[in-house]
Amino acid sequence: MHKLMLLTQREIIERFNQKGFWYMLFFGPLVVLLLLVVLLKAADQGKQEIKVLIADPGQIMAHRLMAQEEKNLHYFFIDDYLELTEFQIGKAYQEFDVLLELNEKVLNNKKCFVFYREQLGLDARMQLKFQVERRLEELIAAQHSKLTQQEFSQIKQGIIFDFRDLRDPKNESKEANAWVGFVLGTFVLFFVGLYGMTIFRATIREKSNRIVEVLLASVRPGQLMLSKIIGIGLVALVQIIGWALLLGIGFTVLQQTIFLDIFDPSNWGGGGPQRLNPLSALVFEQLNFPFLLIHFILFFLASFLFFGALFSVLGARSNADADGQQFLFPLLILVAFGVFSGVYGVYYPETTLTEVLSYLPFSAPVLAFISLVKGVGIAGYTTILLSLLILIVSAFILLSLASNWYRKTILRF
């Protein structure tokens, strides 16, 4: 055990002394944050010139919304209920981009539904919200209060606007959440592949300069292999935690500066940036980052033990870096298989194949995070824990086998 600890400490110190480790620790999160800002800013884009059909069976608005017509928003009224299916496929309604439902209870429950054919731009959403809300405030103030509209607006409660895709009116599809889970699961495999390659190259380098012969004179091959996996794995874990802290700070700064919630009245009138679109709302408000980070670390450690054993054996089997490339290809295919299985899981979450893939060690991390971000019940979470258990058991079985293979191949040139 003492020798194993010394070898592990040697691997850790060697990695910490490399500039590349520190560059990736600090510049990696910065690149991620910059890409995130670009992605979330792109989510502001959407259809801006829209025709809104307001279904107002109670004639609450009396066919009047604004004193002056907006340039980008054009409102039309229908004095009847309108089924979503009829609006979606009816020829008479194809010219309209949005259906806004106003029933008789809207003045009391303060909520209305907005169904769109194409994703709306943030500016279009905000104009629609403020224009309709202002008209409703005027009506509420006139019917239920002696206050003027300006006085009422100071004490009013905002109207809740529920924007929904016409193709998914019940919000059953959580594709955006699924893709966020896919990205997190892919990051697990990214770190596994990156540091697995470090194990592979370190093993080949020690074979090439014959340091391994000196080491094996005093330690067992299994200890040498395990020290590399543990040492490099701990370095990877330090980097993951460092990324989590820096990204957490970055998210906080972005949330307080660029991506403020414009729907929150406390952010109105300050003249500052007001940019919280549906995608940024998902990232900043709906994700439970501490919960996801715990599972990220668990799946990373289990996956790293599994793949680390394979990378170690391939390094022991290879005589030079060029010679090892032919052995690396099938292993990298397994990592890529995990990524592509996640894509399949996003589009076909309920199939038998997706269920089977969720239990395979190569694909379990990505599919588990897709489920975690979308939200799971007790049964779904039990499946995730079972897949993690299978991954851990598979990793220890493979470590046992890899130790024997490592011993037989490490001194072969």
If asked whether residues 141 and 188 sit together in one domain, one would say no
Q: Are 286 and 181 in contact (CB under 8 A)?
A: no
pLDDT of residue 119: 72
Global pTM? 0.67
CATH of the domain at 140: 3.40.190.10
Q: Are 100 and 132 in contact (CB under 8 A)?
A: yes
Whether 156 shows a pLDDT value over 80: the answer reads no
If asked whether residues 138 and 210 sit together in one domain, one would say no
Q: Are 40 and 259 in contact (CB under 8 A)?
A: yes
Residue 396 burial (CB count, 10 A): 13
If asked whether residues 180 and 160 sit together in one domain, one would say no
Helix pair angle (175-208, 221-257), 10° resolution: 140
pLDDT of residue 366: 92
Instruction: Summarize the confidence of residues 269-280 as an average pLDDT.
Output: 48
Whether 274 shows a pLDDT value over 50: the answer reads no
If asked whether residues 149 and 234 sit together in one domain, one would say no
pLDDT of residue 273: 42
Range of the domain at 18: 2-43+174-409
What does each C-alpha distance from 297 to 153, 198, 282, 288, 307 come to in angstroms?
48, 19, 22, 15, 15
If asked whether residues 159 and 275 sit together in one domain, one would say no
Alpha helices in 145-288 (DSSP H): 149-155, 175-208, 211-215, 221-257, 278-281
Lowest mean pLDDT among 124-138, 254-268, 303-317, 389-403: 254-268
If asked whether residues 139 and 212 sit together in one domain, one would say no
Provide the sign of the torsion angle of the four alpha carbons 234, 239, 245, 247, taken in this order: negative
Tokens read off for 317: 């089997």
CA–CA distance, 345 with 7 (Å, rounded to integer): 40
If asked whether residues 141 and 234 sit together in one domain, one would say no
Judge residue 163's burial from the number of C-beta atoms within 10 Å of its C-beta, 0-12 exposed, 13-18 middle, 19 or more buried: middle
Q: Are 176 and 287 in contact (CB under 8 A)?
A: no
If asked whether residues 236 and 289 sit together in one domain, one would say yes
**343-379 pLDDT tens trace:** 888 888 878 898 899 999 989 999 999 888 877 778 8
If asked whether residues 184 and 319 sit together in one domain, one would say yes
Q: How many domains does the chain have?
A: 2
Beta strands across the sheet bearing 111-116: 73-78, 50-55, 98-101, 111-116, 160-165
Q: Which of 109, 140, 165 is the last residue of a domain?
A: 165
Q: Which of 147, 165, 183 is the last residue of a domain?
A: 165
Q: Which of 138, 165, 192 is the last residue of a domain?
A: 165
If asked whether residues 307 and 338 sit together in one domain, one would say yes
Place of tokens 């990877």: 236
If asked whether residues 191 and 206 sit together in one domain, one would say yes
Helix (H, G, I), strand (E, B) or coil at 157: coil
